[in-house]
Amino acid sequence: MAISDQSVTTGNGGSGEVCTAAAGENRPSHPNYIPNHIDNPSYVRILDTTLRDGEQAPGAAMTTEQKLDVARLLAHLGVDIIEAGFPCSSPESFNAAKAIAIDVGCHPVIAGGHVPVIGVVARSNKKDIDIAWDAVKHACHPRINTFIATSDIHMKHKLRMSKEVVVKTAVEMVAYARSLGCNDVAFAAEDAGRSDREFLHHVLNEVIKAGATTIIIPDTVGYNMPSEYANLIADIKLNTSGAIIATHCHNDLGFAAANTLAGAEAGARQLEVTINGIGERAGNAALEEVVMAIKCRKELLGLHTGIDTKYIVAASKMVAEFTGLYVQPHKAIVGVNAFAHESGIHQDGVLKYRGTYEIISPEDIGLSRSNESGIVLGKLSGRHALKARLLKLGHDVNGKELDDIFARFKEIAGTKKNFSDDDIEALVGNENDHLKTIWSLVDIQVIHGTIGFPTVTVKLISFDGDEKISCSTGEGVVDAAFKAVNNIVQVPVILKKYTNSAVEGIDALASTRVVISLDSNDIKTQNDRTFSGIGTGKDITVASVQAYLNALNKAMSLKNLSAKIIRA
């Protein structure tokens, strides 16, 4: 069965198959937007705060043009609300938020498409709220999100306000935002996760009376555990009414996505997230993790979103590029290793049936892999994976030939991090050419520094035991070493390619690859075939010479040039 046929649509993902969209599925739809009500009880709004909370991550600042690009892509992604910034923080933030409100907040990015709500954040004071409204009022669906802290530790040490003053301020500022003409005002109880429960209920009920359409329950410092946060949301749902309950979870203890999902299970219907989980300190709940969990475990959560997941990878890459906050390889959903398989057991399973080790179809998030099975060849890979890659490259090998290639692969893979298609071709060339080791390296000595030319002396031994020594200078030690080898071997070649792996750490192995061709001006060849060689070692010069000799030995063996060494 072809790999492309192995992706199975389960509808609800409940059987543990690959979670993937049904064939011909259209973009997810969004219910009509009513600020304080959602007609469909299973629908969850997604608020993306990459341009506000995400940009607060150290070093993540973006230009207005970059923010516009991100906002347009978020609209393609189908987020319900784009939090466009904190307008009072700087003129640039104000201008960016206003541009997004006018551009993205008034026109669908595709014909007949969804127009997102554009929100901005303001502290609970009239100046902030005035600036916020000026920035966002041009959107079709403008929103102001005002906030004030409600935990004892924040009220005492940061605000230095009494509970009564905090309630009075929160209520007055929600009412003031409504008085400006904004009919969609969200209120966030900062540090709600550490607030006194009865006081929190009181604040939330009072701001709802004042006109708040969404009440946001932040776990501001990532302190809550999932069960604890779920209990908090359930309790708020029981003790308030008339507004959408929203999550806003930080990742200080690594629970941001888990807490967000726990909150959704408990009744929250707006989830606040960022692309790649960027944000203050350890970041926020990651959009891609939350959305794909809802999609993949629909049978468990019973929820759905309006996110078109095929834009997830594009959004992840854009935000990483613009902010300079690159994703770690093992990051869930969007990390480069998220759909890669190196273990031989895993590779065998995936090659037989993708659902064995992939719970998400990579195509569903817009991921295009260099090979459709996601197989990464390395020291843990098995014979099945190597054979699959060989077939992909057009080499149908079996029996002893496959055994020999696999043995050589294991030998090299043990000291090599990345195994490319070129490396596989080199292995095949090694075996198919029946390589005869004509010259081997015995010793090498290198002299280089700031005075004089790099000088390398090499001692080689031929297949019949003849030892020869040559010394040469060059533009660098590798150049000098290759020239010294040429003096001994006396076969005219052209160096086509020379590469070596990045060396990390003082004890790391260098892996070098050399590609040569025989100089047709001196030797008549049937074609312009190239010959590659690989060398590994802790010394890059030694590894380079080994690679060069491997390539030379292939060329000489195939072209019957070994007799030339007798005359050398």
pLDDT number for residue 347:
55
Instruction: Specify burial of residue 564 (Cβ count, 10 A radius: 0-12, 13-18, 19+).
Output: middle
Task: Tell me the C-alpha distance between 428 and 554, whole Å.
Answer: 12
pLDDT number for residue 448:
84
pLDDT number for residue 565:
44
At CA 337, angle to CA 334 and CA 342, rounded to 5?
A: 155
pLDDT number for residue 433:
43
Task: Tell me the C-alpha distance between 455 and 149, whole Å.
Answer: 70
pLDDT number for residue 3:
30
For the chain, helix, strand, coil in percent to 5 are 40, 20, 40
pTM assigned to the model: 0.68
Task: Tell me the C-alpha distance between 475 and 479, whole Å.
Answer: 6
Beta-carbon contacts of residue 504 (< 8 Å; ≥ 6 apart): none
Residue 312 token pair? 């997830």
Report the first-to-last Cα separation within the chain, whole angstroms: 55
Task: Tell me the C-alpha distance between 219 and 263, whole Å.
Answer: 11
pLDDT number for residue 560:
61
Residue 11 token pair? 């509808």
Give the count of beta carbons closer than 10 Å to the beta carbon of residue 48: 30
Structural contact between residues 476 and 454, judged by C-beta atoms closer than 8 angstroms: yes
Taking the CA atoms of the chain, what radius of gyration do you get in angstroms? 32
pLDDT number for residue 554:
79
Residue 246 token pair? 């929203």
**284 three-state secondary structure:** strand
**Number of residues written out for the chain:** 568
Mean pLDDT by 10 residues, the chain (568 residues): 32 51 65 96 98 92 94 95 96 96 90 89 97 97 98 95 97 98 98 96 98 98 97 98 98 98 98 97 97 94 95 92 89 80 56 67 72 58 72 71 75 62 61 63 89 90 90 92 93 87 54 80 52 77 90 76 45
2 phi/psi in degrees, rounded to 5: -70, 150
194 phi/psi in degrees, rounded to 5: -115, 15
Task: Tell me the C-alpha distance between 250 and 565, whole Å.
Answer: 69
